[in-house]
Amino acid sequence: MAPKKSYSLETELVFSKSADQYNASVPPLYQSATFKQDSLSNMGEYDYTRSGNPTRTYLQNHLAKIMKAKTTFAVSSGMGCLDVITRLLKPGDEVIAGDDLYGGTNRLLTYLHNKGDIIAQHFDTTNTELIKSKINSKTRMIFLESPTNPLIKVVDVKSIANAAHEINPNVIVVFDNTMMSPIFMTPLDLGVDIQYESATKYLNGHHDIMAGVIATRSDSLAEQVYNVINSTGCGLSPFDCWLLSRGLRTLAIRVERQQQNCIKIAEFLKNIGFKVRYPGLKDHPQFELHNSMCKGYGAVLSFETGSIKLSERIVENTEIFGIAVSFGCVNSLISMPCKMSHASIDAKTREERDFPEDLIRLCIGIENVDDLIDDLTKALLRSGAVRVNERDELFNVIGVQPKL
C-alpha cells in the first residue's frame, strides 16, 4: 500500500515537527515583548510581539494545516476577528448579513451601519435565492454563519459563495465557523474567502482564554489582514497562543464526545415532546443540506418551552449545566439567548426575526451523558415542564410544537 501523502486531521492536531533548538516536544513559550537585533542593519525574524512572536507563528502555522488555509492569524477574540475583517471595508460599502448572526456580530455591524461607515442589510440566509437577488456591484462583503447561533438555521454556503463571486468578483464572502469548528466543516473548501472562528469556544475548549482565528487562502487578503492586526495590536498574546496550542491538541476527541452527548440529549428532549433545533436530528428542515457541507453536527442545541417563565425555571434548576454564555467548552452550559448571549439584539429586532424569547440553549460538554440527562430531567420536573405518567414515562405538560 502506498504511504498516505497527508495525515488525517486528528493526527495533524497532535503532531508537530519541532524546530526548537533543544528539540522541545511542546512548542516553547516566548513570553517576550521585544527581540534584540543582531545589528542595526539586521533586524532578524522578530522585533516586537505586536508584529510577530514565535509562539504565535507556531500556532498560526499549526492552525493553517488544520483549517486547510494558506494563512491564519490569531487575535484577541472572535469579535476581534470581525473588527479586523470589517476594517477592510471602505466608507459606503454595502454588506449583506444573516438575520440570525451571533448577537455580538449583529452589534458591531449595526454600530458601523449607524455610524454611516457601511450599509449593512440583514436577510434570512436560508433563502439562497433571496440572498442572490440582493448581491450587486456595490456589495463588498457577505457575512454568513451555519448553523446559526442559536436558531440553528443552515445556510447553503457553496451556492451563495459561487453566486456572489459570479455576480461581483470583488465580493468577500466571510464565514463564521465557530459552531462547527474545523473538525466538522472546512468552509474554505466551499468557496468562502475569509473564515473566522471564536477560538474562545471549541478550538481552545476550556474557557480559560479569549481568542479568535482568521483564515484565508488569498495572499492579498492575508496581507491586508496582517496590516490591520499589526497596526491595531490585536494579535493574540504569547501565553494565550501557548494555551490555545495546548487546547487544540484535544480538539477532535473533545468535539466528538460533545457531539455524541448532544445527539443523545437532542433525542431525549425530542422524545418528551419538545421541538428541538439541532442539525443532527433527521427532522431538521435542512438536515440534508447540512450533511452535504459538514462531517458532524456539533454540540449546541436549542429548544422552546412555550413560556418564558417556564424556561427561566428550567435554566435555574440545573446543577451540572452551568448558567453561562459561550459554548464549546468541556463542561455543559445552559442559557436563555434573549437574556444573555443575544441580549444586544433589541427586543423589536428579535421579534421581527422570529427569535423566540423562551428559547433555551444547551451547550454540551464531555461529562457522562446519563448524568447530564438526569440533571435535565430533574430541572424539567422541578420546573413543572414535564411530569411522570403511570408507566413511569416523562411527558411534556405544555406540549408545545413551535415551528422551526
Supply the residues annotated as catalytic.
50, 102, 176, 201
List residues bridging with 194 in a β-sheet: 174, 216
Dig out the grid coordinates for 196 from the structure: 473566522
Kindly state the DSSP code that residue 34 receives in the 8-state scheme.
Answer: B
- The piece of 2-10, 187-195, 319-327, 395-403 that touches ligand LKTG3HHF (CB under 6 A) is 319-327
Q: Of the two residues 55 and 200, which places its CB atom closer to ligand LKTG3HHF in the complex?
A: 200
Distance CA(327)–CA(200), nearest Å, equals: 8
Query: Closest approach of Cβ 103 to ligand PLP, in Å?
Result: 8
Is 146 a binding residue for ligand PLP by CB under 6 A? The answer is no
Distance CA(350)–CA(247), nearest Å, equals: 34
Contact 79, 259 (CB under 8 A): no
Cell 428542515 belongs to residue: 285
Using CB under 6 A, which of 86, 106, 125, 149 touches ligand PLP? Answer: 149
From the list ligand PLP, ligand LKTG3HHF, none, partner contacted by residue 77 (C-beta under 5 to 8 A by kind): ligand PLP
Cell 433525542 belongs to residue: 267
Q: Are strands 300-303 and 194-198 parallel, antiparallel or unpaired?
A: unpaired
Is 324 a binding residue for ligand PLP by CB under 6 A? The answer is no
Contact 225, 84 (CB under 8 A): yes
Query: Closest approach of Cβ 402 to ligand LKTG3HHF, in Å?
Result: 20
Element containing residue 277 per DSSP (H, E): strand 276-277
Cell 440527562 belongs to residue: 373
- The piece of 129-137, 186-194, 210-218, 323-331 that touches ligand LKTG3HHF (CB under 6 A) is 323-331
- The piece of 17-25, 91-99, 102-110, 348-356 that touches ligand PLP (CB under 6 A) is 102-110
Q: Of the two residues 324 and 404, which places its CB atom closer to ligand PLP in the complex?
A: 324
Distance CA(215)–CA(69), nearest Å, equals: 6
Using CB under 6 A, which of 212, 238, 298, 356 touches ligand PLP? Answer: 212
Contact 119, 270 (CB under 8 A): no
Using CB under 6 A, which of 106, 332, 341, 396 touches ligand LKTG3HHF? Answer: 341
Q: Which of 325, 283, 299, 274 is nearest to 104 (CA)?
A: 325
Q: Of the two residues 222 and 301, which places its CB atom closer to ligand LKTG3HHF in the complex?
A: 301
Distance CA(378)–CA(373), nearest Å, equals: 9
**String marking each residue 94-123 x if it binds ligand LKTG3HHF according to CB under 6 A:** --------x-x-------------------
Kindly state the DSSP code that residue 359 receives in the 8-state scheme.
Answer: -
**String marking each residue 39-78 x if it binds ligand PLP according to CB under 6 A:** --------------------------------------xx
Q: Of the two residues 150 and 306, which places its CB atom closer to ligand LKTG3HHF in the complex?
A: 150
Is 99 a binding residue for ligand PLP by CB under 6 A? The answer is no
Q: Which of 197, 201, 181 is nearest to 74 (CA)?
A: 197
Q: Of the two residues 100 and 375, which places its CB atom closer to ligand PLP in the complex?
A: 100
**DSSP conformation letters of 97-131:** EETT--HHHHHHHHHHHHTTSEEEEEE-TT-HHHH
Cell 492579498 belongs to residue: 220
- The piece of 51-59, 127-135, 161-169, 324-332 that touches ligand LKTG3HHF (CB under 6 A) is 324-332
Distance CA(270)–CA(295), nearest Å, equals: 22
Q: Which residues bind ligand LKTG3HHF (CB under 6 A)?
A: 102, 104, 149, 325-327, 341, 344
Q: Which residues bind ligand PLP (CB under 6 A)?
A: 77-79, 102, 104-105, 145, 149, 176, 178-179, 198, 200, 210, 212
